Amino acid sequence: MGAGTIAASARSQARPVYVIDGARTPFIKARGRPGPFSPTDLAVQCGRLLLLRQPFAPNSFDHVILGCANQIAGEMNVARVAALRLGCGEEMPAWTVHRNCGSGMQSLDDAFRAVAHSDMDLVLAGGTEALSRAPLILADDATEWLAEFQTATSVGDKVKALSHFELAFLSPEIGLKKGLTDPVSGLSMGHTAEELAHRFGISRWQADDYALESHRRLARAQAEGWLDGEIEPMFAPDGTVYDHDDGVRADSSIETLGKLKPVFEPYGDVTAGNASQVTDGACWMILASDDAVKRHGLKPLARILDSEWAALDPKVMGLGPCLASAPLMTRAGLSLDEIDLWELNEAFAAQVLSCIEAFADAAFCRDVLGLQETVGAIDRARLNIDGGAVSLGHPVGTSGARIVLHLVNALRRTGGRRGIATECIGGGQGGAMLVEIMA
């Protein structure tokens, strides 16, 4: 018996699960030095204003769940540290989730399934990531040397330890670089995007054009105030205010993008301009059962109907969204046309475009997804309508939550009813969620 034959699961919808509210921090680009906020700081910055918006007290939750791919020393189990700092109370259980880029969505999924199964009624779930604070990692032999030095008590032992020192120990590896490389395939995320671009015939120009559009759409959303209420401003201890996603380049042009050199391999097409940015940010959502809605007098915004996880060869992880979202449509009996909006995380422009090609390819849909019919070509006017990770960044543990939150907000704004949020996951996975706006 495999995973596909489990009878009782969230899919059987024991109880409806509602999205009550959500908020995120502005996403701030990592600019070569540690950012002003740790992962927990980010979660607290947007969490505290989100919680003040609610009619119930912060200790009303059953659980707090937070996705985070890079926790830092001093705040292990960011979910619990954030919960305590947000005033949820000493008696608030909390756990932190790691499914790489899927961590933020996994956190929502954990909450979704727990509420659906009547294990919980009111949950605070989301994701946080401070990539600018990703640690420097000493190689194993350097770490061993440090241990030897620190445990040496006598002068003689210390001198002995010093004699074992090698200059190579002074080159710590950048944790981020290591984190973005899959150890089994040996490919970095960028390489997987290059592979897909090649297989699905995505040109450099197409990728750059997609990136340009992402910036244009985000800039427009900012100008129109469409992100007000989704974003709560952050205030750093030194008095700096962060109130908008600062990775956006309204001055981008196809020419400036075209000048950039490939960043992962010579002769490649993936550049810093058409890849997602390295960014800090956090996002929370509040999920509730009918009972919680009644008890606290809440007004749900949407329902999470279904979720799905899929896995595939890490070398082509970028196709994860296709594998994860197709079953959602099948189970719900929905055609492509009935999905009003898509949030497909822009890990790389070429990767997004590859997914679009895959869904439109009859053979792929038949042989890989096992579908009777081709899914179809996703209308670009319904896809990432307010920009995405290329323009606003991809804080790894947060994006999965952000795309669900933004999907709900965008559907409400445009009068849409149903949407799918989906993302590829480093290491070869994909995650997807189907949401429906309340009538």
16, burial (CB in 10 Å: exposed 0-12, middle 13-18, buried 19+): middle
Report residue 433: phi and psi, to 5°.
-135, 140
Site string for another protein, 57-86 (x = CB under 8 A): ----------------------------x-
Assigned token pair, 240:
């700096």
Q: Which of 48, 117, 199, 315 binds another protein (CB under 8 A)?
A: 48
Asked about 215 being catalytic, the answer comes back as: no
233 binds another protein (CB under 8 A): yes
Site string for another protein, 135-164 (x = CB under 8 A): ------------------------------
Both ends of the chain: CA-CA distance in Å? Answer: 38
Q: Are the CB atoms for 306 and 433 separated by under 8 Å? A: yes
Compute the radius of gyration of the chain from its Cα atoms: 22
3-class DSSP assignment, residue 73: coil
Asked about 424 being catalytic, the answer comes back as: yes
CB of 56 to another protein, least distance (A): 11
Provide CB contacts within 8 A for 359, sequence distance 6+.
322, 326, 336, 365, 374, 375, 376, 377, 378
Alpha carbons 272 and 280: distance in angstroms, whole number: 17
Provide CB contacts within 8 A for 334, sequence distance 6+.
328, 418
Of 158-166, 200-208, 238-246, 251-259: span binding another protein (CB under 8 A): 238-246
Site string for another protein, 89-108 (x = CB under 8 A): -xx-----------------
Kindly state the number of chain residues that form the binding site for another protein, as judged by CB under 8 A: 18
CB of 94 to another protein, least distance (A): 16
240 binds another protein (CB under 8 A): yes
CB of 44 to another protein, least distance (A): 6
Q: Of 237 and 415, which CB lies nearer to another protein in the complex structure?
A: 237
237 binds another protein (CB under 8 A): yes
258 binds another protein (CB under 8 A): no
CB of 237 to another protein, least distance (A): 4
Catalytic residue among 46, 88, 101, 283: 101
Assigned token pair, 33:
């030095």
Provide CB contacts within 8 A for 4, sequence distance 6+.
none
Catalytic residue among 63, 191, 215, 394: 394
CB of 245 to another protein, least distance (A): 16
Report how far apart, in Å, the C-alpha atoms of 82 and of each of 87, 126, 284 are: 9, 11, 11
Residue given tokens 């609610």 in the structure block:
54
Q: Which residues are catalytic?
A: 101, 394, 424
Residues found near another protein in the complex (CB under 8 A): 44, 48-49, 52-53, 85, 87, 90-91, 233, 235-241, 243
